[in-house]
Amino acid sequence: MSVIARFEVIPVQEGSMSTAIAEALRALDRHPVSYRTTPTDTIIEADTAGQIFAAVRDAHRAIPDERVITSVEVDEDRRRPQDMGERVASVERELGHPPERRQQPPAGRPTSQMAQQSEPTQAHPSQSRSAPRGTQPTQIPEWGMPSSARSRSSGPGPGPFTGGEHAEQYRPRNR
Q: Where are the beta strands (DSSP E) in 13-141?
A: 34-37, 42-46, 68-76
Is 29 part of a structural domain of the chain?
yes
Assigned domain for 107 exists:
no
Is the pLDDT score of 144 beyond 60? no
Q: Is residue 130 part of a domain?
A: no
3-state secondary structure of 9: strand
Q: Is residue 17 a part of any domain in this protein? A: yes
Domain residues for 74? Answer: 3-82
Q: Check: CB of residue 145 under 8 Å from CB of residue 157.
A: no
Say what the pTM is: 0.57
Q: Is residue 61, in this structure, part of any structural domain at all?
A: yes
Q: How far apart are CA 87 and CA 43, in angstroms?
A: 12
CATH code, 34: 3.30.70.930
How large is the average pLDDT for residues 131-136? Answer: 45
Identify whether 174 is part of a domain.
no
State what percent of residues in the chain have pLDDT above 70.
Answer: 61
